[in-house]
Amino acid sequence: MNNLKPYEYFSYLLEQLMHYPRNNVPENKLAELMPWSDELPDRCRKLKTR
């Protein structure tokens, strides 16, 4: 779903979350990390095919 590469997305997610204390990630940052966010890097997205 959401046309993401699961491994790349999870790896990116962990990289980003380690910058914040546990249970204290700002809501705006969490919104950017959601699978449907347009803020995710291209490396997390599957290539579009016809």
pLDDT tens per residue across all 50 residues of the chain: 789 999 999 999 999 999 999 889 999 999 999 999 999 999 999 987 76
Provide the sign of the torsion angle of the four alpha carbons 13, 16, 21, 26, taken in this order.
negative
Strand partners of residue 45: 4
DSSP category for residue 4: B
pLDDT number for residue 15:
96
Residues in the chain: 50
Global pTM value: 0.84
pLDDT score of 13: 97
